[in-house]
Amino acid sequence: MHKANVSIWFFNGVLLTTYGLMIGGYGVYELISGHTPPVVLAYLHAPLWWGGGMLALGLLYCFKFAPGKDNHATK
Amino acid sequence: MTVLPSPLMLSAVVALPPQHLAHLAPLDIAIIAVYFAMVIYIGFYLKQRNNTSEEFFLAGREMTAWIAGLSFISANMGSLELMGWAASAYQYGILAAHWFWIGAIPAMLFLGLVMMPFYYVSKTHSVPGYLKLRFGESSRLLAAVSFAIMTVLMSGINMYAMALVMKVVLGWNINFSIWVSSVTVALYVALGGLRSAIFNEVLQFVLIWAGALLIPILGLIETHGWVGMRARIQHNFPGQDFTHMWHGLGAFNHNPMGVHWTGIVFGLGFVIAFGYWTTDFLVVQRVLSAQNLRAAQMAPIIGAGFKMLVPIIVILPGLLGLAVLPHLLPESVAAHVPGANSYNEVLPLMLVRYCGPGLLGLGITALIAGFMSGMAGNVSAFSAVWTYDIYQAQINKRAADSHYVTIGRWSTILGVLVSIGAAYLVMQFASIMDYVQALFSFFIAPLFGTVILGMLWKQATAAGGFWGLLSGTVTSVSLYLWVHFNPAALAHVAFSVHAKTMAENLYRALWAWIVCVVVTVVVSMFTTPKTDAELNGLVYGATVLPKLEAVPIYKNHWFWAAIVITGFFIVNVVFW
């Protein structure tokens, strides 16, 4: 019987990477197009660096806990 | 909930005015959809690992300390926790942080260092199960039935409150919010059991932080740091103190909560916090899933470390609201002023203030994740208590193990359906929330008295445990009714005519605990205790605890507990 053995941290990595790409990608669009939303501190381009941070963290977790790297599901 | 959200908080959320605060862009919708797809996928993925009751109800007891610890704290971080305590911080200032620090940290450390060995070594499946081993069937039944009823009712209340928040913030239909979120939780918990609930809670923990942490960061940038924020608050509210935790607690009428430090220390810090964090199966179940005793002891300590940080994403946004949104009104006033916003909207207002497309979706996903982690905690705990402590104990004692797994899956769905029913009941009779909330609190304090005496005192007898638990509960109910029908009685229950509702809750819990302990001790003195052999594995002094293998100091739970308690004292002194 196949046993689930993908680490929860890998799932976290996938989600953070996906969100990082989506939000960071929007941040890049915002920066290039100059189209900023009507929010306070919009000039800081929070989607860019917050999304970038999530992308970096997500990739780190995806790599470190990738299936097949002897990462038990509960670790 | 930190300990328990107050009735004020719950009813206030219900009373949010009918206006939309935000509109989601397609990117936000996509972010929310990705989240739902992920949690459902995890449920299907883990379905194959739930063939035995041990796997379904206790995740096979193979979780690491980190996973059990994060799940332990995540199951407690419901959406009402985020919304409600941010609102409380706007109303009461940093006093609200007591519910995260003295109202949580010492109790969580006590669970890990002192109580966990007995829960773990006894191999109990639940807290009522421990009461069965220690005091007998009657105590277990009393605790199991009250826990099962209150858990699904609380789940329903949270569900309704969350759906209402979604309606107010985004304009979503209440029925849509209730059914979509409930069916999702039912699906992944019924499929994957506690393991699925725990995996998703870890995921939700990360999401909550990712979605909520940006608010205090940007808020502090806008106010030029903590000092700038305090200056703005003082400018907006001259003469009022919102940034000291202990300074105004010398008298009931010197602080906006109407509490005294004795109520905070003994009522909240000792009875309510210890009652909730050490006996509420919703949280204890997560720790019981740990892979060994050391992990089980480390999990609450890891949880305590993160719990100490939660005010950053809950209390700080409320304080920042005082600095940058000084015109929020009490709910009762805002409801009658067109276009006005109330305290209770401070967190979504801060979210909308700083977050555009993408980040707004992430923040809303954090709120949904908070709700779902809390609900999954409730239904998975309900499922275990129903199956082990009611169905197996009272209805069908000798079925095959696979039968109990099936019952567990169906009771998960049953729990969700009853929760939905409770949500619609509350929709019709909103005041029920206040009573159910009070009802839930009736059991926490005396249950702690019963469990702690059972664990630490060999002479406590079965009769003592049962009558102590019952009399403590009756005391709590009686005091509640006394004050309800005669508000002047509050001066007697809470020792001051200036005491307010919050103080009543704290002192009522203290009285209930004292009565429980006194009755347990007195009845035990006149009845026959169990022998040491019968108490092996259950009671301090009659149990030989397994010797833990030697580990480096950085893996030792006492070392980390010392760090956490040091941090606890530091934050209290810094914000004194």
Q: How many CB atoms lie within 10 A of CB B214?
A: 22
Q: Is B32 exposed, middle or buried (0-12, 13-18, 19+ CB in 10 A)?
A: middle
Nearest to B342 by CA among B49, B6, B571, B21: B21
User: Who contacts B81 (Cβ-Cβ below 8 Å, separation ≥6)?
Assistant: B1, B2, B5, B314, B370, B374
Look at B355 and A46 and tell me if their CB atoms are within 8 Å.
yes
Of B27, B35, B353, nearest to A39 by CB-CB distance is B353
CA pair distance B31, B23, nearest whole angstrom:
14
Question: Which residues of A, range 15-54, sit inside 8 Å of B by Cβ?
Answer: 15-16, 18-19, 22-23, 26-27, 30, 36-42, 44, 46-47, 50-51, 54
Predicted confidence band of residue B28 (pLDDT cuts 50, 70, 90): very high
| pLDDT mean over B99-118 | 91
Nearest to A50 by CA among A20, A18, A30, A9: A20
Task: Give the mutation candidate from B42, B350, B362 for the A interface (greatest A CB count, under 10 A).
Answer: B362
Look up tokens 């939303």; give the residue. Answer: A37
Residues of chain A positioned with their CB less than 8 A from the CB of B62: 74
CA distance B360 to chain A (A): 10
Is residue B561 within 8 A of residue B108, CB to CB? The reply is: no
Look up tokens 């935000």; give the residue. Answer: B22
Lowest mean pLDDT across B67-71, B496-500, B556-560: B496-500
Look at A74 and B35 and tell me if their CB atoms are within 8 Å.
no
Alpha helix locations (H) across B213-238? 214-223, 225-236
Distances B227 to B18, B215, B324 between C-alpha atoms, Å: 36, 17, 14
| pLDDT mean over B81-97 | 86
Q: Which CATH superfamily hosts domain B7-45+54-431+548-574? A: Sodium/glucose cotransporter (1.20.1730.10)
Which amino acid is it at B375? M
Of B34, B45, B354, nearest to A40 by CB-CB distance is B354
Look up tokens 């729990």; give the residue. Answer: B415
Nearest to B99 by CA among B297, B273, B266, B262: B273
The dihedrals phi and psi of B16, each to the nearest 5 degrees, come to -60, 140
Is residue A4 within 8 A of residue B49, CB to CB? The reply is: yes
Lowest mean pLDDT across B143-157, B411-425, B491-505: B491-505
**Helices B346-354 and B214-223 meet at what angle, rounded to 10?**
80
What angle is formed at CA B520 by the lines to CA B519 and CA B524, rounded to 5 degrees?
115
B220 touches chain A (CB under 8 A): no
**Rounded to a whole number, what is the distance in angstroms from the first to the last CA of chain A?**
21
Of B42, B49, B356, nearest to A37 by CB-CB distance is B356
Task: Give the mutation candidate from A8, A14, A30, A31 for the B interface (greatest B CB count, under 10 A).
Answer: A8
CA distance A64 to chain B (A): 16
Question: How crowded is the C-beta side of B202, counted as CA atoms within 13 Å?
Answer: 28
Of B202, B221, B353, nearest to A12 by CB-CB distance is B202
Look up tokens 């953070």; give the residue. Answer: A16
Q: CA of B223: which chain A residue's CA is closest?
A: A41
The dihedrals phi and psi of B435, each to the nearest 5 degrees, come to -70, -40
B68 touches chain A (CB under 8 A): no
Predicted confidence band of residue B6 (pLDDT cuts 50, 70, 90): very low
Structure tokens at B360: 């707004």
ipTM score: 0.91
Alpha helix locations (H) across A1-75? 8-33, 46-64
The dihedrals phi and psi of A74, each to the nearest 5 degrees, come to -95, 10
What angle is formed at CA B487 by the lines to CA B486 and CA B492, rounded to 5 degrees?
95
Question: What is the pLDDT, as a whole number, of residue B15?
Answer: 46
Question: What is the pLDDT, as a whole number, of residue B17?
Answer: 47
Q: E strand or H helix at B562, and its extent?
A: helix B557-574
Look at B203 and A16 and tell me if their CB atoms are within 8 Å.
no
A71 touches chain B (CB under 8 A): no
CA pair distance B143, B128, nearest whole angstrom:
6
Is residue B505 within 8 A of residue B85, CB to CB? The reply is: no
Predicted confidence band of residue B228 (pLDDT cuts 50, 70, 90): very high
Question: What is the pLDDT, as a whole number, of residue B100?
Answer: 93
Lowest mean pLDDT across B145-149, B223-227, B294-298: B145-149
The dihedrals phi and psi of B63, each to the nearest 5 degrees, come to -80, 145
Of A14, A18, A41, nearest to B218 by CB-CB distance is A41
CA distance B425 to chain A (A): 36
Question: What is the pLDDT, as a whole number, of residue B146?
Answer: 84
CA pair distance B477, B499, nearest whole angstrom:
19
Look at B362 and A42 and tell me if their CB atoms are within 8 Å.
no
HEC states along B177-208? HHHHHHHHHHHHHHHHHHHHHHHHHHHHHHHH
Nearest to A18 by CA among B32, B366, B192: B32
Q: CA of B351: which chain A residue's CA is closest?
A: A39
B175 touches chain A (CB under 8 A): no
pLDDT digits (tens, 9 = 90+) for B506-520: 888 899 999 999 999
Nearest to B199 by CA among A19, A4, A18, A50: A4
**What radius of gyration do chain B's Cα atoms show?**
23
Is residue A47 within 8 A of residue A23, CB to CB? The reply is: yes
Look at B34 and A47 and tell me if their CB atoms are within 8 Å.
no
CA pair distance B102, B444, nearest whole angstrom:
17
Look at B353 and A40 and tell me if their CB atoms are within 8 Å.
yes
The domain segmentation of chain A, as residue ranges, is 12-64
Nearest to B249 by CA among B237, B266, B262: B262
User: Who contacts B163 (Cβ-Cβ below 8 Å, separation ≥6)?
Assistant: B172, B174, B175, B177, B178, B181, B423
Q: CA of A6: which chain B residue's CA is closest?
A: B45
CA distance B90 to chain A (A): 20
Predicted confidence band of residue B1 (pLDDT cuts 50, 70, 90): very low
Look at A12 and B31 and tell me if their CB atoms are within 8 Å.
no
Predicted confidence band of residue B489 (pLDDT cuts 50, 70, 90): confident
| pLDDT mean over B61-85 | 81
Distances B25 to A34, B180, B466 between C-alpha atoms, Å: 18, 20, 56
Is residue B419 within 8 A of residue B382, CB to CB? The reply is: no
CA pair distance A66, B328, nearest whole angstrom:
48
Q: CA of A20: which chain B residue's CA is closest?
A: B358
Q: CA of A8: which chain B residue's CA is closest?
A: B199
Look at B356 and A51 and tell me if their CB atoms are within 8 Å.
no
Look at A4 and B49 and tell me if their CB atoms are within 8 Å.
yes
| pLDDT mean over B474-494 | 88
Predicted confidence band of residue B430 (pLDDT cuts 50, 70, 90): low
Of A2, A16, A22, nearest to B358 by CB-CB distance is A22
Look at A22 and B27 and tell me if their CB atoms are within 8 Å.
yes
Structure tokens at B474: 């009756």
Residues composing chain A = 75
| pLDDT mean over B319-338 | 82
Higher pLDDT pick, B104 / B168: B104
Question: What is the pLDDT, as a whole number, of residue A49?
Answer: 95
Pairs across A and B, CB distance < 8 A: 91
Residues of chain B positioned with their CB less than 8 A from the CB of A56: none
Nearest to B245 by CA among B99, B112, B47: B99
**Helices B401-428 and B174-212 meet at what angle, rounded to 10?**
100
| pLDDT mean over B157-172 | 79
Q: CA of A43: which chain B residue's CA is closest?
A: B354
A1 touches chain B (CB under 8 A): yes
B358 touches chain A (CB under 8 A): yes
Question: What is the pLDDT, as a whole number, of residue B4?
Answer: 42
Nearest to B454 by CA among B543, B546, B548, B381: B543
What angle is formed at CA B55 by the lines to CA B116 and CA B140, rounded to 5 degrees?
50
Is residue B127 within 8 A of residue B303, CB to CB? The reply is: no
B353 touches chain A (CB under 8 A): yes
3-state secondary structure of B290: strand
Asked if the model's pLDDT at residue B22 lies above 80, the reply is: no
Look at B358 and A44 and tell me if their CB atoms are within 8 Å.
no
B413 touches chain A (CB under 8 A): no
Question: What is the pLDDT, as a whole number, of residue B56?
Answer: 78
B207 touches chain A (CB under 8 A): yes
Q: CA of A74: which chain B residue's CA is closest?
A: B63
Q: Using CA atoms of B331, B333, B336, B338 in order, give the dihedral in degrees to the nearest 10.
A: -80
Look at A46 and B214 and tell me if their CB atoms are within 8 Å.
yes
